[in-house]
A and B are shown apart, each in its own frame.
Chain A
Amino acid sequence: MYRNLTIRQKQIVWAWAFLALPVLFYTVIRFYPTGNAILISFQNWNLLGSRTWAGLENYDKLWNDPVFWKVFQNTFVYLLLGTPLSLVLSFIIAYHLDKLRFMHGFLRMLYFLPFMTSAVAMAWVWRWFYQDVPIGLFNNILANFGIPQIKFLQSTTNALPAVLAPAVWAGLGFQVIIFMAGIRAIPTSYYEAAKIDGVGWFTVLTQITIPLLRPTIVFIVVFSSIGFLRIFDHVFNMTTNNPGGPLNATKPIVLMIYDTAFNGFDMGYAAAQTVVLFTVLLVVSLVQLRLLRSN
């Protein structure tokens, strides 16, 4: 039978033969659980016993849950503070690191090191940095200068930025490397032309470097946005006593999902939250891709 196929048909058969494995993998590992999560979001299930149909009950509960709205807001604060901050910081570092020749490799390694470190270990070290006197690094320094202590994690206003800081710091190394690759990819002829024309560094930066970095910026914005929308490990580990606290000041959506599912054993409600997060991620990514698409 195979013999009788045209060359084009044979090509299709082979293409699908090679595609079969990834398609199967994606169906089992990605699409099936996603579909199942959407199904569970319309059901009640406490892990034990059978699932019962709940209709829109879980979504209704979500809509009327003040904690969910607080958490939703927190998640966007993480996104709106974290993404621009890490973008600007990593660009500034990459821009200057690129020009630096002295100990270039070593410095680049130093910036990349936090990215390779386990987020859990890092979060715990920062958690201790933030403690009050007598064990907290920052407060001990303040106390040495006679400055009153700052409540970092035990505060409804300071806690979120305090948790976000190490998350931004940890992701910086990766973004710096990507930016540097982007900067290096810009043809030097543009810069030479600019030099011959005698334009200033600012014009070079805004007219050549940044516009030509557009694909890199799009990648980093989308990538880090998804990261901040899914922030979990830093928050959870820095506040394990009171996950997402105080008064839900630092709780992101993923932590609420985890708490609902594995402390409350309310799988249906957790799945509904997951579906909302999934939708948000999808919309944010699509909007960013469209806005930043090059003309």
Chain B
Amino acid sequence: MKANLKGLVLAGLTSSATLFAGTAHAVEIEYWQYFFGARVDAMDQLIENFEAANPDINVTMTHFPYADYRTKVAAAIPAGEGPDVVQLFYGWLNDYVEAELIQPLPSDTFPVAQIDADFFPMVQAMKDGDNYWALPTAVRSLALFYNTRLFAAAGIDGPPATLDELMETAAALTQRDGAGNLTTVGLTAGMTAQDHHWWREVLVRQFGGEPYVDDYRTVNYNTEAGVAALDFYTNMFLNEDAVTSIGFMDEPQAAFKAGLAGMHIDGSFRIGSLADIRGLEWGVAELPAGMDGVQSNYSSYWVNAITTKAEGAKYDAAVLFMAYLTSDEAMQIWLDVVGELPAKPSVGMTEENANDDVFGPFIRGLAYANTTKFVNESAQRQVLVEMVERVQLLDMDPAESLAIAAEAEQKILDEYYAE
């Protein structure tokens, strides 16, 4: 009896040892991103495909709310608890590099020259000398959403192609009640939404300026072009024949979703939430061109990077996983599942994607998009929000308000780069 039991225990041990032997060879790496339903679904799919191709690597994904993201990453990596591959907002890259939380991508797998050639140009903000620090799977850009039902009712054929046409179209779409209160705006407005990007990277350039110089370390919009861009923007809601109102229906996207805004400038991430609105019929067009046909756009992205925690076998696995995350296949899956745009022209500019009714205008916009190198996006946005508020609420001369804004933003940049 005793011998039997001994044998049983021994057998149990050996069989469990063989069971674990399989996984003992497998490398476990951890991937972190913030929680957004579609992003998690897409990543689940990518991990499944990656593990099928690399049976000796296991990837576990952890996600938590956006609000806690940076705090958690910052606390976990130094403690050796964090991810091996992590998703970061592009604007935070400098901070992560400086704090030695991430390591550069190996130049043999990710040669700089090839990435320069393969990816959309704004990705080059992630480059430092001979190495890339991080790479995106997907990027975002702006486009003009328009309500096709309101367009048809106003007898307008198609979306405006220039800024002049934009204002004409907006005027035709604007509706007021008997007392003159706006009931439908032609175009939404609000620097707190995406308009600060539109003003900064699109309008300033279209009026002949360049918003920043010196690799985004020096503010350069306090010029005639900047004043013209601000005049154009504030004229949309300050005149008697205003085509919009700031704060109309609380938030620009809310007004568009409710069908009470003819046109709305927003990012590609909005596609998903608009698709679910019943009864809303909408189309997308590229942002209107400037006076001399100048086109511009703003693009932002989340990148993937390898943390300093990944060493040895885990590092090798992380490199392989990064290579997969930046592959054409991954980008197509991300586009299909999340609706975010591929980071490479080879995927984005395929006949099918570039001419897609919805994604097409965003993808075509990537070709001429600029990426602002923010040091503190919310503070830099606030500067522009207040610039418009001074004109709107305090009746300040636009040129004067612009000068104050330029000075305030320069101070933010100087403080950051001085450290």
Q: Once the chains bind, are A264 and B394 in contact (CB under 8 Å)?
A: no
Q: Which residue of B lies closest to A52 (CB)?
A: B419
Judged by a CB distance under 8 angstroms, whether A146 is at the interface is yes
Chain B residues in 8 Å Cβ range of A149: 181
Docked CA distance A60–B251 (Å): 37
Q: Once the chains bind, are B179 and A245 in contact (CB under 8 Å)?
A: no
Given A143-B177, A149-B181, A242-B385, A265-B95 contact (CB < 8 Å): yes
Given A242-B192, A264-B376, A156-B70 contact (CB < 8 Å): no
Q: Once the chains bind, are B389 and A47 in contact (CB under 8 Å)?
A: no
Given A47-B70, A246-B393, A247-B393, A153-B247 contact (CB < 8 Å): yes
Docked CA distance A46–B419 (Å): 11
Q: Once the chains bind, are A262 and B249 in contact (CB under 8 Å)?
A: no
Chain A residues in 8 Å Cβ range of B98: 48-49
Residue in A133, A148, A246 whose beta carbon sits within 8 Å of that of B182 in the complex:
A133
A99 to chain B, nearest CB (A): 42
Given A48-B101, A241-B190, A135-B385 contact (CB < 8 Å): no
B315 to chain A, nearest CB (A): 21
A100-132, CB < 8 A from B: 127-128, 131-132
Q: Which residue of A lies closest to B180 (CB)?
A: A148
Judged by a CB distance under 8 angstroms, whether B74 is at the interface is yes
Judged by a CB distance under 8 angstroms, whether A155 is at the interface is yes
Chain B residues in 8 Å Cβ range of A148: 179
Residue among A44, A155, A263 facing the most chain B CB atoms (10 A cut-off): A263
Judged by a CB distance under 8 angstroms, whether B214 is at the interface is no
Q: Once the chains bind, are B246 and A154 in contact (CB under 8 Å)?
A: yes
Chain A residues in 8 Å Cβ range of B34: none
Q: Once the chains bind, are B389 and A132 in contact (CB under 8 Å)?
A: no
Docked CA distance A134–B177 (Å): 10
B134 to chain A, nearest CB (A): 15
Docked CA distance A156–B396 (Å): 14
Judged by a CB distance under 8 angstroms, whether B346 is at the interface is no
Residue in B67, B95, B181, B251 whose beta carbon sits within 8 Å of that of A262 in the complex:
B67
Chain A residues in 8 Å Cβ range of B376: 263-265
Judged by a CB distance under 8 angstroms, whether B183 is at the interface is yes
Q: How many A-B residue pairs have CB under 8 A?
A: 82
B267 to chain A, nearest CB (A): 16
Judged by a CB distance under 8 angstroms, whether B250 is at the interface is yes
B240-293, CB < 8 A from A: 245-251, 260
Q: Once the chains bind, are B378 and A259 in contact (CB under 8 Å)?
A: yes
A19-58, CB < 8 A from B: 44, 46-49
Q: Once the chains bind, are B378 and A135 in contact (CB under 8 Å)?
A: no
Chain A residues in 8 Å Cβ range of B70: 47, 265
Q: Once the chains bind, are A155 and B181 in contact (CB under 8 Å)?
A: no
Docked CA distance A47–B68 (Å): 12
Chain B residues in 8 Å Cβ range of A133: 177, 181-183
Docked CA distance A133–B176 (Å): 10
Docked CA distance A134–B250 (Å): 11
Chain A residues in 8 Å Cβ range of B96: 48
Q: Once the chains bind, are B71 and A263 in contact (CB under 8 Å)?
A: no
Residue among B246, B250, B376 facing the most chain A CB atoms (10 A cut-off): B250
B166-212, CB < 8 A from A: 177, 179, 181-183, 190, 192-193
Q: Once the chains bind, are B260 and A134 in contact (CB under 8 Å)?
A: yes
B78-130, CB < 8 A from A: 95-96, 98-101
Docked CA distance A49–B247 (Å): 39
Given A247-B390, A247-B393, A263-B379, A48-B192 contact (CB < 8 Å): no
Chain B residues in 8 Å Cβ range of A49: 95, 98-101
Judged by a CB distance under 8 angstroms, whether B30 is at the interface is no
B191 to chain A, nearest CB (A): 8
Given A135-B249, A143-B179, A47-B378 contact (CB < 8 Å): no
Chain A residues in 8 Å Cβ range of B231: none
Judged by a CB distance under 8 angstroms, whether B328 is at the interface is no
Residue in B190, B250, B382, B393 whose beta carbon sits within 8 Å of that of A135 in the complex:
B250
Given A133-B182, A245-B385, A47-B246 contact (CB < 8 Å): no
Residue in B71, B190, B382 whose beta carbon sits within 8 Å of that of A47 in the complex:
B71
Docked CA distance A130–B74 (Å): 39
Q: Which residue of A lies closest to B258 (CB)?
A: A135
Residue in B179, B250, B379, B386 whose beta carbon sits within 8 Å of that of A131 in the complex:
B250
Residue in A44, A47, A155 whose beta carbon sits within 8 Å of that of B393 in the complex:
A155
Q: Once the chains bind, are B394 and A247 in contact (CB under 8 Å)?
A: yes
Docked CA distance A46–B98 (Å): 11
Q: Once the chains bind, are A131 and B393 in contact (CB under 8 Å)?
A: no
Given A135-B249, A246-B389, A262-B67, A47-B179 contact (CB < 8 Å): no
Residue among B96, B98, B179 facing the most chain A CB atoms (10 A cut-off): B179
Q: Which residue of A lies closest to B250 (CB)?
A: A131
Q: Which residue of A lies closest to B191 (CB)?
A: A242
Q: Once the chains bind, are A132 and B393 in contact (CB under 8 Å)?
A: no
Docked CA distance A47–B190 (Å): 31
Q: Once the chains bind, are B248 and A132 in contact (CB under 8 Å)?
A: yes
Docked CA distance A262–B190 (Å): 23
Docked CA distance A245–B95 (Å): 28
Q: Which residue of B lies closest to A48 (CB)?
A: B99
Chain A residues in 8 Å Cβ range of B379: 263-264
A244 to chain B, nearest CB (A): 9
Given A155-B393, A241-B250, A247-B389, A132-B245 contact (CB < 8 Å): yes
Chain A residues in 8 Å Cβ range of B260: 134
Residue in B177, B247, B419 whose beta carbon sits within 8 Å of that of A154 in the complex:
B247
A143 to chain B, nearest CB (A): 6
Chain A residues in 8 Å Cβ range of B249: 131-132, 134-135
Known: A49-B100, A133-B181. 6 other contacts (CB 8 A): A48-B99, A49-B95, A154-B393, A155-B393, A246-B393, A262-B71
A–B pairs, 21, beta carbons within 8 Å: A47-B74, A48-B74, A48-B96, A48-B98, A48-B99, A48-B101, A49-B100, A49-B101, A128-B250, A131-B250, A132-B181, A132-B248, A133-B177, A134-B181, A134-B249, A155-B393, A241-B190, A241-B193, A242-B385, A262-B71, A264-B378
> What 8 A-B pairs are tightest by C-beta distance, nearest first?
A49-B99, A48-B99, A263-B378, A241-B192, A133-B181, A47-B74, A242-B192, A154-B247
